[in-house]
Amino acid sequence: MTAAVDLSAIASADVPAALVERLRGARHVLAVSHEHPDADTLGAVLGICAVVEALGGQATAISTDTPPPLYAFMPGIERFRTDPDPTEAYDLLVIADCASATRVGDVAQRHAALFASLPLVIIDHHASNDATGDAHWIDANAAATCEMVALLAVRFGVPLDVNAGSLAAVLMAGVVMDTATFAHPNATPRTLTVSAALVAAGAPLSDISRRLYRTKPDVQLRLFGRVLDRLATSADRRVIWSTLRDADFAATGTIAAHSEGIIDLLAQSETAEVAMLFKEQPDGTTRLSVRTKAGGVDATALTGLFGGGGHTRAAGASIASGLEDAMAAVLPIADRLAGAVVR
């Protein structure tokens, strides 16, 4: 049996006391992910629900978009709702892994009165998150929000192996997703310590890594092929980009969720300081995903100009124009930022 890893000292030092008090007093929590959910936001919400329920409360997991099939292996994924339960009396709103309130998606507009009436707690690891308040926990040094929720569970004395290891599994999924199985430079000694504790609690690390990064449906591979076929670079090859069009989904039999991972493939370019994917949206806007190399361009310096945010090495933005206009606006800026990098 794998020896347990003691996280209590780290949890006591890092988890804000005001957050602990707010969660301890809650009886029915509305826990909300960001739109177009990934493993980190889904795992964090499920982890928050597990903590609240271990404390004797109730929790409802919300995602404005149905979780993609890729995450069907995560225990408890079926409990996500697209809207709050109208029969429940919520007393706390917890938003997980959202760099801004708008990233929650349409559910916040559909239930604006409810969201506005509830006390709010934000748990997030995005450097661009400027939320203030004693009960919020924004930790840009965390590799994943799931890393933070693992410490939150420990702070409350909730065993990470609770529910036959399902808590450890969903939190490990978030860490694996946001570190690319510890390949990204955001994996810190604390990340590895927390991950060791999750593995000791039963998280199947190898299987999670395989499912998230080494298993893809054939139709998804065809989608990747179309995007790679449109690959373009700047003259000095410091900027690389491609496009994902609405028609690509119909042509390959895929859905939007199958686009997950394309930007990380582009970011493997040997020469590019900035890798970008421009995704055509059904409403005529464009979704921009950006990846940059360590020690080079701050991805948020680019996406922030278009109202976006994220992390130093990985960020995104929604641009209120079509694909061609979005590219015309972004590419010169990316070229300038990449050209300023000295190595």
Angle separating helix axes 145-155 and 189-200, nearest 10 degrees: 60
Average pLDDT, stretch 67-81?
A: 96
- Contacts of residues 306-309 at CB distance under 8 Å and 24 or more positions apart, as own/partner, are 306/330, 308/128, 309/99, 309/100, 309/126, 309/127, 309/128, 309/129
Q: Supply the mean pLDDT for the chain.
A: 95
- 100 Rama class: left (phi>0) / alpha (psi -120 to 50) / beta: beta
Average pLDDT, stretch 201-207?
A: 97
DSSP for 193-257 reads HHHHHHHHTT--HHHHHHHHHS---HHHHHHHHHHHHT-EE-TTSSEEEEEE-HHHHHHHT--GG
List, in sequence order, the alpha helices (H) in the chain.
8-14, 17-24, 39-54, 106-110, 112-117, 145-155, 166-179, 189-200, 205-213, 218-229, 246-252, 262-266, 299-303, 323-339
Q: What would the pLDDT profile of 281-323 be if each residue is shown by its tens digit? A: 999 999 999 999 999 999 999 999 999 988 899 999 999 999 9
Pairing relation of β-strands 314-319 and 309-310? antiparallel
Residue at token pair 């007393």: 91
Determine the pLDDT at residue 1.
Answer: 45
Determine the pLDDT at residue 2.
Answer: 62
- What one-letter code names the amino acid at 172? M
Burial of 183 (0-12, 13-18, 19+ CB in 10 A): exposed
Q: How many residues does the chain have?
A: 343
Residue 4 has pLDDT above 60, yes or no: yes
- Count of CB atoms situated within 10 Å of the CB of 84: 19
Nearest to 280 by CA among 252, 302, 256, 315: 256
Q: Which domains are seen in the chain, by residue range? A: 8-213 (3.90.1640.10), 218-338 (3.10.310.30)
The pair of three-digit structure tokens given for residue 63, joined into one six-digit string? 């995602």
Count Cβ neighbours within 10 Å for each residue of 10-45 and write b for 16 or more, e otherwise: bbeebbbeebbebbeebeebbbbbbbbbbbbbbbbb
Pairing relation of β-strands 286-292 and 274-280? antiparallel
Average pLDDT, stretch 136-142?
A: 96
Instruction: Quote the distance between the C-alpha of residue 7 and its chain's center.
Output: 23
Which residues are CB-neighbours of 262 under 8 A, at least 6 positions away?
A: 223, 224, 227, 242, 244, 277
Average pLDDT, stretch 93-114?
A: 91
Helix or strand (DSSP H, E) at 340? none
Which residues are bridge partners to 120 per DSSP? 93
**pLDDT over 70 percentage in the chain:** 99
Identify the band that residue 130 occupies on the pLDDT scale cut at 50, 70 and 90.
confident
Determine the pLDDT at residue 230.
Answer: 97
Determine the pLDDT at residue 132.
Answer: 86
Nearest to 99 by CA among 253, 247, 315: 315
pTM comes to 0.86
Residue 121 to residue 133: CA distance in whole angstroms: 9
Residue 79 has pLDDT above 80, yes or no: yes
Helix or strand (DSSP H, E) at 312? none
Average pLDDT, stretch 13-36?
A: 96
Q: Let me know: does 251 contact 226? Beta carbons within 8 Å.
A: yes
Q: What would the pLDDT profile of 45-64 be if each residue is shown by its tens digit? A: 999 999 999 999 999 999 99
What are the angstrom distances between the C-alpha of 302 and each of 99, 138, 201, 259, 297? Answer: 15, 21, 40, 22, 8
Residue 335 to residue 323: CA distance in whole angstroms: 18
- Count of CB atoms situated within 10 Å of the CB of 262: 20
